[in-house]
Structure 1
Amino acid sequence: MDVHVRYEGDDDPEKCTARKLARFEMAELHRSNRGTPYGVVLDPFAERALSPADRAVGDVLVALDVSWDTAEAEGVALAGEHRALPYLVAANPVNFGRPFRLTTVEAVAAALIILGDRAHAEELLSKFTWGETFLELNAEPLQRYADCEDSAEIVAVQGEYLDRGDDERAAE
């Protein structure tokens, strides 16, 4: 899949995983919504979960690399099929261990695995010292999500992980 990123440029350039992917020519950055191609848009506010069924949309994957303050508005304005990633845990140094707080490269890699392109995901993550850790932390859920057929199955599997987290917090 071709990886594109709607890029705002409002974060620390040294920590920006989208910029690093672009430097290695592994992703194309877009500074405007109009210039961003149509495809599967990874949108944390989308109503449907990404699933293997979304391979039918085409070969373009678009990630958002914008501030959380503007993510909802920017995502809505992008043309494409908007999908949210299911429960996964971050491995990046800033948000290590926190669910749903993925960097752009973690989000793209997770999406690629769910869509059946693990080799591409591993290639992207290989550029980051913690990339392999992301795969290790999320090995079981990523495999389970990739084995699902549609968004409803993804949501059901995600529910198991969310319930497990609720049970662990209640036991503390």
Structure 2
Amino acid sequence: MKVYIIDYHRDDPKKCTGKKLIKLNFAELTRYGKGVILDPYSKRILSILDKDIALKTGITIIDTSWNSTSKNEFEKIKGEHRRLPILFAGNPTNYGIAYKLSSIEAVIASLYILNEIEEAIKIANIIKWGHTFLELNKELLESYRNKSENEILEIEREVIEKIIGEP
């Protein structure tokens, strides 16, 4: 599965996992969205139903500090926008924080959800904390794998209700 990176050059270059993916030939740099665009603002969630698009045209990650990137900037990128369901960062900067994934964690999660587990593990092996991310999210990733968008949304809703303590 092809992975593309749009680099907004807003991350610390030493911590930039998108650049690492490119350097190690796991991703290609692009200026345009291709295939499934991972977008934290999207109303649609990544699911197995997106696998055909991802296999044909790839997945695009916007490599940026999402703290300084607006919804508008994501909307400008053409493609099938999808967000990831709730997952917890395994990276040292945002460890344990929901939805605060690095670019490489987003790639790993996307591949896992799309049932490309061997590829997800291969990419997890290139960073020290890759397996921390997988272990931290193992149950969630397994529950999202091979599921439809509605099934994933239901699982995500249940997880959030447990976290906030509502029935």
TM range (shorter): over 0.9
- For residues 4 and 142 of structure 1, the distance between their equivalents in structure 2, rounded to whole angstroms, comes to 22
Residue matched to 2:13: 13
SS at match of 1:15: coil
More divergent stretch after superposition (68-77 vs 129-138):
68-77
> Post-superposition shift, 1:74?
2.4
Structure 1 gaps of 5+ residues are none
In the TM superposition, what whole-angstrom CA distance separates every residue of 1:92-144 from its partner, at most 9, and x where no partner exists? 00000000000000001100100110111111111110000100000001001
Q: Secondary structure at the match of 1:5?
A: strand
**What amino acid maps onto 1:66 in structure 2?**
T
Q: Deviations over 1:23-66 (max 9, x none)?
A: 10111122x3xxx2420111000011110010122420111112
Q: 2 CA distance for matches of 1:4 and 1:147?
A: 22
**Following TM superposition, by how much is the alpha carbon of 1:147 offset from its aligned partner in structure 2, in angstroms?**
3.5
Q: Distance in 1 between matches of 2:135 and 2:64?
A: 26
SS of corresponding position for 1:56: helix
**Is it true that 1:160 corresponds to 2:158 in the alignment?**
yes
Partners of 1:159 and 1:109 in 2: how far apart?
22
Tell me the TM-score normalised to structure 1 length.
0.90
2:59 is the counterpart of 1:57: no
Identity in percent: 38
Counterpart for residue 66 of structure 1: 64
**What residue is the counterpart of 1:126 in the other structure?**
125
1:36-51 equivalence runs, <5 A: 36-51=32-47
Taking only aligned residues, the RMSD between alpha carbons, in angstroms, comes to: 1.3
Which amino acid is 1:87 matched to?
A: I
Instruction: Supply the AA of the counterpart residue of 1:125.
Output: A
User: Match of 2:119, SS?
Assistant: helix
Distance 1:95 1:67 in 2: 12
Q: For residues 71 and 65 of structure 1, do their structure 2 counterparts lie closer, same or farther at Cα, with a shift above 3 Å needed?
A: farther
Q: Cα offset for 1:73?
A: 2.2
**Partners in 1 of 2:96 and 2:63 — Cα distance?**
20
Q: TM-score, normalised by structure 2?
A: 0.93
What is the distance in 1 between the residues matched to 2:54 and 2:94? Answer: 31
Report the number of matched residues. 163
| Aligned residue identity for 1:121 | A
> What is the CA distance between 1:70 and its match in structure 2?
2.1
